Structure 1
Amino acid sequence: MSTLLTVALWVVVIWFVLIVIVTTVLMTVVARHTKKDESAEVSFPTLEPISEQVGDSTITLYTYGQDVYDAMLAEIRGAQDHVYLESYIWKNDELGEEFKREVIAAADRGVDVRLVYDSFANAVVPRAFKQFGPKIQVMRHGWFSLWILVLRIRKLGRDHRKILVVDGRVGFVGGYNIGADYATKWRDTHMRIQGPLTWELQNAFVDFWNAHAKKRKVEPLDDPGADHWEPRLRARRNAPIQMSFPIRNMYLDAIDRAKVRISITQAYFIPDSDILDALLRAAGRGVDVRVLVPENSNHVMADWLSKAFYSRMLEGGIRILFYQPTMVHAKTATIDGRWATVGTANIDRLSLTGNYEINVEVVEESVAAMMDRIFENDCTATRELTLDEWSQRGRMARFGEVVLIPLRPIM
Structure 2
Amino acid sequence: MPRRTPCVSVPVAAVLAMLLLAVLAGCAITPPMPRADRPPPGRPTPSTGAVASQVTVTGHRGRLQHDEREQLLRRVGEQGSASLVQRQLAAMSSFGEVDLHAGNEARLLIDGPATFAAMFEAIDKARRTVLFESYIIEDIAISQRLAALLAKKRAEGVQVLLIYDALGSIGTDGSYFQSLRDAGVPTCAFNPVNPIKRPGYWDITHRDHRKILVVDREVAITGGINISAVYATGSFGRQRRQAPEGIKAEGWRDTQVQLRGPAAAALDDLVRETWAQQGCRGELPPVPPKPPSAARSTGQQLMRIVPSSPDDEFNRIYALLLTAIDASQRSVHLTMAYFAPGQDMIDALCEAAERGVDVRLVLPSVSDFSPVLHAGRSYYERLLKSGVKLYELQDAVLHAKTAVIDGVVSTVGSSNMDWRSFSGNNEVNAVVIGEDFGDAMARMFQRDLEASQAIEAAAWRKRPLFQRAKESLARLFEAWW
Q: TM-score, normalised by structure 1?
A: 0.80
Helix, strand or coil at the partner of 1:187 = coil
Give the C-alpha shift of residue 398 in structure 1. Answer: 1.2
Contact kept, 8 Å, 2:103 with 2:301, in 1: the verdict is no
The RMSD of aligned alpha carbons is: 2.5
- Look up the SS of the partner of 2:361 in the other structure: strand
- Within the candidate set 393, 416, 430, 1:346 is matched to 416
- In structure 2, distance between residues paired with 1:225 and 1:161: 25
The structural deviation recorded for 1:103 is: 0.8
Counterpart-to-counterpart distance in 2, 1:297 and 1:83 = 33
Counterpart residue identity of residue 232, structure 1 = L
Shift of 1:182: 0.7
Residue 223 of structure 1 and its aligned partner are, at CA, apart by 6.8
In the alignment, which residue of structure 2 is the partner of 1:6? none
Contact 1:332-1:343 at 8 Å conserved across structures: yes
The letter for the 2-side match of 1:209 is W
Quote the Cα distance in structure 2 between the aligned partners of 1:117 and 1:125: 11
Contact 1:155 1:240 in 2 (8 A): no
Question: How has the CA–CA distance of structure 1 residues 284 and 226 changed in structure 2, closer, same or farther, with 3 Å as cutoff?
Answer: farther
Partner of 1:37: none
Task: Answer 1 or 2: which has greater helix percent.
Answer: 1
Task: Letter of the 1:331 partner, please give it.
Answer: K
Give the 5 Å matches for 1:172-211. Answer: 172-184=221-233, 185-211=251-277
In 2 relative to 1, CA 204–226 (structure 1 residues): closer, same or farther, beyond 3 Å? farther
Q: Is the 8 A contact 1:284 1:317 kept in 2?
A: yes
Per the alignment, in what secondary structure is the counterpart of residue 339 of structure 2? coil
Give 5+ residue unaligned stretches, structure 2. Answer: 1-22, 24-78, 80-100, 196-200, 234-250
Report SS of the residue matched to 2:172: coil
The answer to whether the 8 A contact 1:153-1:354 is kept is no
Aligned-pair distance for 1:200? 2.2
CA distance in 2, matches of 1:381, 1:188: 14
Query: Which residue, 58, 76, 79 being the options, matches 2:105?
Result: 58
Contact preservation (8 Å) 1:294, 1:322: yes
What amino acid sits opposite 2:175 in the alignment?
A
Please name the residue that 2:281 is paired with: 217
- SS for the counterpart of 2:114 is helix
CA distance in 1, matches of 2:194, 2:327: 40
Question: Which aligned pairs between 1:368-407 and structure 2 lie closer than 5 A?
Answer: 368-407=438-477
**1:119 alignment partner, one of 128, 144, 166:** 166
* Aligned ranges 1:270-281 → 2 under 5 Å: 270-281=340-351
CA contact (8 A) 1:323 1:382 kept: yes
Q: State the distance in 1 between where 2:282 and 2:321 align.
A: 34
Note the C-alpha offset of 1:291. Answer: 0.7
- Asked whether the 8 Å contact 1:206–1:221 carries over to 2, the reply is no
* Alpha-carbon separation, structure 1, partners of 2:398 and 2:469: 27
1:86 corresponds, among 133, 136, 145, to: 133
Shift of 1:221: 5.5
The equivalences for 1:254-403 within 5 A come to 254-403=324-473
- The amino acid across from 1:133 in the alignment is R
Shift of 1:402: 1.4
* Counterparts of 2:425 and 2:477, CA distance in 1: 17
- Unpaired segments of 5 or more residues in structure 1? 1-15, 17-51, 147-151
Paired with 1:401 and 1:180, the residues of 2 have a C-alpha distance of 30
* Counterpart in the other structure of 1:101: 148
Q: CA deviation at 1:327?
A: 1.0
Distance of 1:169 and 1:391 partners within structure 2: 51
Change (3 A) 1:97 1:171: same
SS at match of 2:232: helix
TM-score by length of 2: 0.69
- Contact 2:134–2:227 (CA<8 Å) still a contact in 1? yes
Corresponding letter in the other structure for 1:139: C
Q: Which moved more, 1:203-212 or 1:315-324?
A: 203-212
Distance 2:112 2:230 in 1: 9
- How many residues are aligned here? 352
Distance 1:68 1:224, change over 3 A: closer
